[in-house]
Amino acid sequence: MRKSEKVQNIKYIIWFNLFIGIYNLYMFNEMNSIFHLVLGSMNIGVWVFCREKYLNLSLSTLFKGNKIDQK
């Protein structure tokens, strides 16, 4: 497997973690299960801490192109 394929797979895994984390938080809301709260928080944490490295998705990159001169 080439390096570009590995990076692409990691990107898919990071997005999958976000969706599974949201689902687990929903299950926590429905069943009041602390297990689902912890698992969902960890899954969303993977997305939060890996998004800048692999997805190039951060607030600073979104606002770089929209600089307006303020006087």
Residue 41 has pLDDT above 70, yes or no: yes
Asked whether residue 41 is assigned to any structural domain, the reply reads: yes
Asked whether residue 44 is assigned to any structural domain, the reply reads: yes
pLDDT of residue 1: 84
CB 40 within 8 A of CB 25: yes
Asked whether residue 16 is assigned to any structural domain, the reply reads: yes
1-13 mean pLDDT = 91
Asked whether residue 18 is assigned to any structural domain, the reply reads: yes
Instruction: Name the domain count of the chain.
Output: 1
State the maximum Cα–Cα separation within the chain, in Å, rounded to a whole number. Answer: 54
pLDDT of residue 70: 55
Asked whether residue 69 is assigned to any structural domain, the reply reads: no
Asked whether residue 65 is assigned to any structural domain, the reply reads: no
Asked whether residue 62 is assigned to any structural domain, the reply reads: no
Query: Can you give the residue range of the structural domain that contains 43?
Result: 3-57
pLDDT of residue 67: 56
Asked whether residue 63 is assigned to any structural domain, the reply reads: no
Average pLDDT in the chain? 87
The pTM score is: 0.76
